[in-house]
Amino acid sequence: MSSLQNALEHYQARIGSEIGESSWVTVDQQMVDTFAETTRDKQWIHIDPERAAKDTPFGGTIAHGFLTLSLASGFASECFKPRPGQVMGINYGLNKVRFLNPVKVGSRLRGKFTLQGISVRSDTELLRETLLTIEIEGAERPALVAEWLGISVFDD
């Protein structure tokens, strides 16, 4: 059996199941400030703790939604280990992203992944559809949910 076929069967048996849950990551002000510099999104609700404490309902600064989403790659690397014969994984994009809850600076986040579907894309590629949920520790509603597509490339 080829590596791709083996992986396909592995994933087909797990459709609808949680694939993994990452460790917690703290979103601190330095992370937010670095992201603001990198993306040139320097809105005060992200980088001015005093004004954000006074003039927002959040009680302080909040992370950029795209910063929260960008943490997904690291969360995924913890949860999706390469299958035998897999030579790489490629981010294929997102079908839907919803930012449901602001992430206050100082919060801890983790990613949870539920496999929604798997299909053969070519002789060497599988397309994986995953529900990503980024949770905020202690919060009822997650920071975001997204339908994420990834390609697993195999050597045979």
Please report the DSSP string for 33-98 in residue order.
Answer: HHHHHHHT---HHHH-HHHHHHHSTTSS-B--HHHHHHTHHHHHHHH-PPPTTEEEEEEEEEEEEE
Give the span between the Cα atoms of 149 and 31, in whole angstroms: 26
Number of domains in the chain: 1
Give the span between the Cα atoms of 80 and 95, in whole angstroms: 19
Give the span between the Cα atoms of 91 and 127, in whole angstroms: 10
Percent of the chain scored above 90 by pLDDT?
97
Q: Is residue 122 part of a domain?
A: yes
Provide the terminal-to-terminal Cα distance of the chain, rounded to the nearest Å: 10
pLDDT greater than 80 at residue 1: no
Q: Is residue 101 part of a domain?
A: yes
Q: What is the domain extent for residue 150?
A: 3-27+63-154
pLDDT greater than 80 at residue 31: yes
Q: Is residue 110 part of a domain?
A: yes
Residue 3's nearest CA partner among 117, 120, 150, 148 is 120
Write the CATH number for 97: 3.10.129.10
Q: Is residue 36 part of a domain?
A: no
Q: Is residue 51 part of a domain?
A: no
- For 89-127, what is each residue's pLDDT tens digit? 999 999 999 999 999 999 999 999 999 999 999 999 999
